[in-house]
Every structure is written in structure tokens, then in C-alpha cells.
Amino acid sequence: MADRSAADPTRRLLWGGFWLGFALSGFFDGILLHQVLQWHHLLSGVAPSDTPQDLRFQILADGLFHVSHYLFALLGLWLIWTRRAAFAVPGVERRFTGWALIGFGSWHVLDAVLSHWLLQIHRIRMDSAYPLFWDLAWLVPFGLAVLALGIHLLRSPPPGPGGTGRRAAVTLALAVLVAGPLAALPPEADPDGRTLVLFRPGISFAEVLAAADAVEGRLIWADASEAVWIMALGPEASALSLYRHGALLVSRGPVSVGCLSWTSA
């Protein structure tokens, strides 16, 4: 191992690019598919999201998914930092970018083969009658095409002396550092103030009313268990007050009566 590292001082640096690209790809999926488009949760194929228990399960699984990609990002950043001197090697910028693209595309290929087709824990669009079409429509541009571009950068000769490689690393690191927090954000706020609130198990109706009063809210809808509520909140209402009154999740995404903003998948 030591001999291989000595022979190629950029080896660990390039692996850092791979893991940063891999992490960014997971955040990309989580932000777009889980939160913006809301086409699926990580484990939508395992349990439906039509009960409070299932909703908590799906949100926990999505959270653990994002935590795993934080770990991949930290691994990539550590490898880059510990081998930052290798940025001085000529041509490393092109190779670093290529490995980052390979990491990005590899996640989508792995997700498609393992999650969509072998384990079937989710598909790109859970509500489609043609799930394979959507799987391939996502895999080809974001997986195979990006993977091919990364391999092309590695195999083709550099056009010129190029830079030091720091620009590519800094750009990729910033993208991951921005994407990570974005992956934890709820959907876009509903213009009418409608908010989905998931309360802890066993909460009483009186406690729900107290929570609504604390934020000057109005109860609009509840599921059969009275653990999932939709409230109309004022623009100045604070989600922290709801959490203090037993809420486990407060999502100010676009919702309508009978629909959950986090569970359209």
C-alpha cells in the first residue's frame, strides 16, 4: 500500500474526489426526489406512508440516508486535505474532475441496480404504471452519461498545462457543503400557511389544541389516529413552539386536506 501511494502521490487525492462526487450525488437525489419532486422516500417500496408510524419510519430512513452521505463527504474531504500537496502535480485537475464525475455517476448506477431492481426498496416514481421507464430516464443522464464523461476525462490527454487542481476541489467541496444542509430542509412553504404537524404517539386532543393555541393556529384536518394534523398558521408562527408541545415533525410544504406534503411518494 505504501509503495503504491509513493508511486502515485495523487492516488488518495483522487479517491477524495470520488467520494465527494458520490456524496454530492446522494444529496442531489435526496433533495430532488425526496423533497422537491417528492416522488419517493428511500424505503417507499418497503412500507406505505399512509399512517403516522409509517411516516416516522420513512422520515427516519431518509435521515439515515443523508447521514451516510455526510460520512462519505467527510471521508472525501479528509482524503483531499491530507493529500492537498498533490494538487501541484501537473494534470491533476482533469483527473480529479474525472474521478468526481465517476463518483457522482457511480451512485446513480448503484442506486438503480441495487435499490430499484434487486432490492426494490423504491423506484424513481412510485406512482407510475411504468416504473422502469422512469428508472432509466433518471439513470441514463445522471448515472451513465456522467460516468462516461468522467471516464472520458481520465482517458483523454489534457488540452494544456491546466491549473493546479485546487479550483475543482474547492468547487466540489463547496457544492457538497451547500447540498448537505439543503438535504435537511423541508419543502417550500405553503402560501396559505397550511402546515403538516406529526405529533408524538399517544398525544391527546387537548394537547393538540394547546399546541395550536400556542402558535395561534387553526386545525384544518387530521388523520384517523389524530397524530397527523394540518394546521393553518400565521406567517410569524414558530415551529419551535409546536416542537415544545409534542410535535415530531413540522413541514410547511404545499399540502391539501387528506394529502401529506412529505408522503406524496
- In order of start, what are the domains of the chain with their CATH numbers? 2-183 (no CATH), 194-251 (3.30.70)
Please give the pLDDT value at position 114: 95
CA–CA distance, 189 with 191 (Å, rounded to integer): 6
Residue ranges in the chain modelled with pLDDT below 70: 1-7, 47-56, 158-170, 172-173, 176-193, 252-265
Please give the pLDDT value at position 107: 96
Please give the pLDDT value at position 138: 95
Residue-wise pLDDT for 44-100, tens only, equals 888 665 555 566 677 778 888 988 999 999 999 999 999 988 888 888 888 999 999
- What is the 3-state secondary structure of the chain? CHHHHHHCCCHHHHHHHHHHHHHHHHHHHHHHHHHHCCCCCCCCCCCCCCCHHHHHHHHHHHHHHHHHHHHHHHHHHHHHHHCHHHHHCCCHHHHHHHHHHHHHHHHHHHHHHHHHHHCCCCCCCCCCCCHHHHHHHHHHHHHHHHHHHHHHHHHCCCCCCCCCCHHHHHHHHHHHHHHHHHHCCCCCCCCCCEEEEEECCCCCHHHHHHHHHHCCCEEEEECCCCCEEEEECCCCCCHHHHHHCCEEEEECCCCCCCCCCCCCC
Please give the pLDDT value at position 258: 34
Residue-wise pLDDT for 247-264, tens only, equals 887 876 543 333 344 444
Please give the pLDDT value at position 1: 45
Please give the pLDDT value at position 216: 85
Please give the pLDDT value at position 264: 45
